[in-house]
Amino acid sequence: MIPRIYIPADSGALALGAEKVARAIEKELKERGVEAKIVRNGSRGAYFLEPMVEVATDKGRVAYGPIKPSDVKSLFDSGFLTGGHHKRWLGAPDKIPFFAKQTRLTFARCGINDPLSLDAYKSLGGLRGLQNAVAMAPADVVKQVTESGLRGRGGAGFPTGIKWKTVLDTAGAQKYIVCNADEGDSATFADRMIMEGDPFVLIEGMAIAGIATGATKGFVYVRSEYPHAVATMNKAVAIARKAGVLGLNVLSSPNAFDMEIRVGAGAYVCGEETSLLNSLEGKRGVVRAKPPLPAIQGLFGKPTVINNVISLASVPIIMDKGAAYYKDFGMGRSRGTIPIQIAGNVKHGGLFETAFGLTLGEIVDDIGGGTASGRPVKAVQVGGPLGAYFPRSLFDTPFDYEEFAKRDGLIGHAGITVFDDTADMLKQARFAMEFCAIESCGKCTPCRIGSTRGVEVLDKVAAGIEAEKNLALVTDLCNTMKFGSLCALGGFTPYPVMSSITHFPEDFKPAPARVAAE
């Protein structure tokens, strides 16, 4: 049997040098006259081990990583094609603790095979969910998704089945499925990993959404910073169309569904669903007032499902194994699994899919391994740039929508950024206001004006100018933004600002006192 070597080609692994490693391996194979098949898979998500090269042996896959081009000669010398020992030897991928501790439902296939092999997708259970869906009445598909307890993974955590039911129940000659792949939150890369590592699961999820709601056309709105994801999705859509997964008769059924990929122009606010719709329609990315809900009047005024990549990519497993199977994972009202993206100053950064319920401390200390700098963890921002900063004293918070909300935080798209004790939380609070000022769409006053005033007032605090009075003003301003903004960009910016002030008051002391304290 010709040996198979797996080298990831997703943008995370490429950024860490996977292409150079692939070339070095090709060269070495040639020089040694050895025949082997190189498969470019996606990443499994342990970015601290990327580029992670795997070899298929008689006893299963063996992984090595992180591999540099300079390791390649010694890899061959140590017989890696048959799983030989080497300083970068990691053993069977599923036994590596970072993977062994995960529960992979949505990411079950991600990183294992060539993402564009439909046969490989099917061999690992792909298309079974869609197969079931085409044989069911639309209302029963919606019922399954509702009963699974799946909530939107884009940030708001709205029940997916309820959204689908609104679209199903709304009459319309044309309905749409829009996939939100804008993924603008800091520390997030789950959407990108799926699009680059297992694109058919998203296509399958979108086709199921179409069948469930009567939508025949779908669009994936991808951020422009994701050229690899765009290329992979375009190729995957063409393959799916050719194979009859998409088209006038999805899997030979009477249901029609087709889709296209669209690239955004680069604005954080275009991840907000109504702004995204404007952008998709070719208009300026400004937030629309709700109502009407997009489910009733969405893209081009038609009933539209807008869901995040992970929400849609979680549907195939629900339709394959049933609502009860999915619902069995998780805690409280947070059902199923959540792909947590661990980033920032952290030793073991990567994607960790697990049932809801792990504590923040378990995620940061046990899974993440603490900071990369080796210094104590000071703060963790959960939920992207609009998420709260949690101190160690809140590390017992379980990863659950309601538990985070109780502590004035949010899960968002489940990205977490770790900071060590050198972080200055006043600077972080200022950054949040500045981010909001730059990214504001300008439609409403609390956000458009408030964020700029917020930067100015925090600058006064930093300069020690009437610090107490100005901090009170920031609090007042945050309340106005929280309750008076039209969308969550202005409405949630108070989370990082107020959590910094509440949990790290020492960083907001007037300048001379801060210097004395240091």
Ligand X SMILES: Cc1cc2nc3c(=O)[nH]c(=O)nc-3n(C[C@H](O)[C@H](O)[C@H](O)COP(=O)(O)O)c2cc1C
Residues that bind ligand X (CB under 6 A): 152-156, 158, 180, 182-184, 268-269, 271-273, 306-308, 311, 487-489
Which of ligand X, ligand SF4, none does 152 bind, CB closer than 5 to 8 A by kind?
Answer: ligand X
Which of ligand SF4, ligand X, none does 158 bind, CB closer than 5 to 8 A by kind?
Answer: ligand X
Residue 257 forms beta bridges with which residues? Answer: 247
Which of ligand SF4, ligand X, none does 196 bind, CB closer than 5 to 8 A by kind?
Answer: none
Residue 127, both tokens: 């298309």
Distance CA 265, CA 222 (A): 9
**At closest approach, how far in Å is the CB of 273 from ligand SF4?**
12
Q: Which is nearer to ligand X, 8 or 387 (CB)?
A: 387
Q: Which is nearer to ligand SF4, 4 or 448 (CB)?
A: 448
**At closest approach, how far in Å is the CB of 453 from ligand SF4?**
14
Contacts of range 135-139, beta carbons closer than 8 Å, 24 or more positions apart? 135/253, 138/168, 138/211, 138/212, 138/213, 138/214, 139/168
For strand 337-344 and strand 415-420, is the pairing parallel, antiparallel, or unpaired?
parallel
Token pair 């999820």 is found at 205
**At closest approach, how far in Å is the CB of 269 from ligand SF4?**
5
Which of ligand SF4, ligand X, none does 447 bind, CB closer than 5 to 8 A by kind?
Answer: ligand SF4
Which of ligand X, ligand SF4, none does 156 bind, CB closer than 5 to 8 A by kind?
Answer: ligand X
Q: Which is nearer to ligand X, 188 or 397 (CB)?
A: 188
Which of ligand X, ligand SF4, none does 104 bind, CB closer than 5 to 8 A by kind?
Answer: none
**Positions in the binding site for ligand SF4 (CB under 6 A):** 269, 287, 440-444, 447-448, 485-487, 489-490
**Dihedral sign for Cα atoms in the order 402, 504, 395, 352:** positive
Task: Give the SS3 label for residue 247.
Answer: strand
**At closest approach, how far in Å is the CB of 286 from ligand SF4?**
7
Q: Which is nearer to ligand X, 364 or 441 (CB)?
A: 441
φ/ψ of 409, rounded to 5, equals -130, 180
Distance CA 184, CA 409 (A): 18
Distance CA 371, CA 347 (A): 5
Residue 184, both tokens: 């603008």
DSSP state for residue 485 in the 8-state scheme: -
- Is the Cβ–Cβ distance between 113 and 39 less than 8 Å? yes
Which of ligand X, ligand SF4, none does 306 bind, CB closer than 5 to 8 A by kind?
Answer: ligand X
Q: Which is nearer to ligand SF4, 71 or 434 (CB)?
A: 434
Q: Which is nearer to ligand X, 86 or 223 (CB)?
A: 223
Give the helix ranges, DSSP H, for 419-487. 425-439, 445-462, 467-484
**At closest approach, how far in Å is the CB of 279 from ligand X?**
12
Q: Which is nearer to ligand SF4, 214 or 450 (CB)?
A: 450
Q: Which is nearer to ligand X, 93 or 271 (CB)?
A: 271
Distance CA 258, CA 177 (A): 10
Residue 79, both tokens: 């017989």
Which of ligand SF4, ligand X, none does 204 bind, CB closer than 5 to 8 A by kind?
Answer: none
Give the E-state strand segments of 112-257 in sequence order. Answer: 176-181, 217-222
